[in-house]
Structure 1
């Protein structure tokens, strides 16, 4: 026994020396081949050493057991639309009740400097749902989408770091089973960094976005996956391999270690393109994926596009963020992107008889080129 231990220590020292000399880890094939030339008894000792050597560390999380209770933080951003926000919160509350044995859900509604009675109405809803774990955050002014979401993220991190963060637009409502489908997906494949559900138009079975989509550098626009397809056709695409450039920002289910590593969303984007920037910063091993069975309904527009004036403001921020993202990552495409995008918006403005829609993007371009920060929209 003593002689065996001495031989093992000897061969461990040899392995360590070869690894340091060659730069290869102990389990590398080259190290193994070199050892074969050193001694005939190497195979037994090396096998013992390699079996007990630590495996290389990876960022891939271990598969979660089916009975693991996950900690989920849900962040919902409100801006002057309490009716939509309360409908969203109510649908989340129903999903929490359905999955109470599978996960702990903490709810973080964030008011982003609303100028109406949003805070009072949301606070009243929270008071009537005292059984929920809710932390209501009220920003003094509009911090933009990323800034508002990050306020909720930071509050959740202070309470307790979550396994997953679900960032939701306030004009979404969860369909029954939306959360449980995501929990199933994360247990099956925990290596996915960001999940996206199937998003359908409100009061319709038409798909608005299945998970995420691709990005056109030339147009500076996103192309949402399966957009316009009836929901009953979605099973045909369930197992089809799909590459995403982003997960649709209206509903991002983000792994906790991922959002912590990037300290939330990039607040240099006031509105739009935050999801593209997040996807851009992910590593090669951090996948984006679509959870087909998780379905949520969306009004199809955010809080900035209820009338012509608000549509123009929405167009302004979209154009500004497009310039910002293109300049940061695809500078050679900035000029053609601006020209093509403006031409398309001009045609759309003529069709809708909305001249502000044509002027707003040009104002955004000039603001970006002159280095001005976009001003928050007013109610």
Structure 2
């Protein structure tokens, strides 16, 4: 295989089926496969994916629990063809608008120093959507990205600008992350300690440390619908800060960690008068965004009711 496309599904099978159909419609690459990982969805949602079993070069696997973004993709990598030279981690709320796979593959083949790349995202209305981001940092937060652009222009390219040529970027979007397999494994792949956020920042940083480049290819387009699996609420907001502060603990010294903690506490806390939501979130950040409160630990395995007897429990774990 030249390419393995890996897609996560979590209670959003309609998005997943549309995503797969767009890949099948546009991709002309000779050797590719699709791996769909159901990340602990409800039974009724997973059942809608059974039709995928009839498609050639497509593997459908299921996790009993939600492993998170990084964990789910790592599970998918367990079943990819070992000869694949590239991995395309594609959000299920994305749809390809042309032969994205073949074009990104060709670009990577022609640019051996590039470890990861992505295309240009557009939203539902075909409007430009930023497809890269900056590394989270204390200086960027305190001084602002506009001012930091004066000191480090390559690390703070305007995100909303429409580029005409391929351009090096700090962090490619996690929605459509096309990565060279040798580079990916050289840096250890995704860190499964991240549950929902900051996986791409962490991966791109480690790739950069090994001198692999990240690129935006603006004439390769895909549609990012947004909202495929995650709805914003207090628990999801907390999950973001759990990942963000884990990233800081990996990459910043203790003093910077404390200053960042104070910065985000004040940033969120100043909105506390609007809603208790922000007050709770600010207190959570002030406590260090503890990982023990992650959604990872708020889920249980599926259960099925059983007849009750004196010697039999009332429920039993489903075997998958």
Bin the TM-score by the shorter chain.
0.7 to 0.9
Other-structure match for 1:303: 229
**Across the two proteins, how many residue pairs are aligned to each other?**
285
Instruction: Report the 3-state secondary structure (helix = DSSP H, G, I; strand = E; otherwise coil) of the residue aligned with 1:107.
Output: strand
Of 300, 315, 326, which aligns to 2:248?
A: 326
Other-structure match for 2:79: 155
- Across the aligned residues of Structure 1 and Structure 2, the Cα RMSD in angstroms comes to 2.8
Of 84, 87, 96, which aligns to 2:18?
A: 87
- Does the alignment pair 1:135 with 2:59? yes
User: Tell me, which stretches of 5 or more residues in structure 1 are unaligned?
Assistant: 1-69
| Length-normalised TM-score, structure 2 | 0.79
Distance in 2 (CA, whole Å) between partners of 1:234 and 1:285 is 23
8 Å contact from structure 2 (residues 86, 180) kept in 1: yes
Displacement of 1:358 after TM fit? Answer: 4.7
Instruction: Report the 3-state secondary structure (helix = DSSP H, G, I; strand = E; otherwise coil) of the residue aligned with 2:287.
Output: helix
For the structure 1 residues 340 and 364, does the alpha-carbon distance in structure 2 shift closer, same or farther, using more than 3 Å as the test? closer
Displacement of 1:343 after TM fit? Answer: 3.5
8 Å contact from structure 1 (residues 108, 135) kept in 2: yes
- Does the alignment pair 1:293 with 2:215? no
Residue deviations 1:11-68, cap 9 Å, x none?
xxxxxxxxxxxxxxxxxxxxxxxxxxxxxxxxxxxxxxxxxxxxxxxxxxxxxxxxxx
For the structure 1 residues 117 and 361, does the alpha-carbon distance in structure 2 shift closer, same or farther, using more than 3 Å as the test? farther
For the structure 1 residues 361 and 190, does the alpha-carbon distance in structure 2 shift closer, same or farther, using more than 3 Å as the test? farther
Other-structure match for 2:280: 359
Compare the two structures and name the one with the higher helix fraction: 1
For the structure 1 residues 226 and 85, does the alpha-carbon distance in structure 2 shift closer, same or farther, using more than 3 Å as the test? farther
Other-structure match for 1:250: 175
Instruction: Report the 3-state secondary structure (helix = DSSP H, G, I; strand = E; otherwise coil) of the residue aligned with 2:33.
Output: strand
Displacement of 1:137 after TM fit? Answer: 1.1
Which structure has the higher relative contact order (CA within 8 Å, separation 6+)?
Answer: 2
Of 201, 204, 218, which aligns to 1:276?
A: 201
Instruction: Report the 3-state secondary structure (helix = DSSP H, G, I; strand = E; otherwise coil) of the residue aligned with 2:78.
Output: helix
8 Å contact from structure 1 (residues 181, 293) kept in 2: no
- Does the alignment pair 1:174 with 2:101? no
Of 76, 79, 82, which aligns to 2:7?
A: 76
Residue deviations 1:88-131, cap 9 Å, x none?
111111123xx1xx33111111111112522111112x14xx34
Residue deviations 1:338-360, cap 9 Å, x none?
2332343346676xx65435524
The aligned runs of 1:340-351 (5 Å cut-off) are 340-346=263-269
| Length-normalised TM-score, structure 1 | 0.67
Displacement of 1:246 after TM fit? Answer: 1.9
- Does the alignment pair 1:145 with 2:69? yes
8 Å contact from structure 1 (residues 85, 171) kept in 2: yes
Displacement of 1:134 after TM fit? Answer: 0.7
Other-structure match for 1:317: 239
Of 111, 134, 138, which aligns to 2:38?
A: 111
Instruction: Report the 3-state secondary structure (helix = DSSP H, G, I; strand = E; otherwise coil) of the residue aligned with 1:160.
Output: coil
Distance in 2 (CA, whole Å) between partners of 1:354 and 1:74 is 42
For the structure 1 residues 321 and 120, does the alpha-carbon distance in structure 2 shift closer, same or farther, using more than 3 Å as the test? same
Instruction: Report the 3-state secondary structure (helix = DSSP H, G, I; strand = E; otherwise coil) of the residue aligned with 1:110.
Output: strand
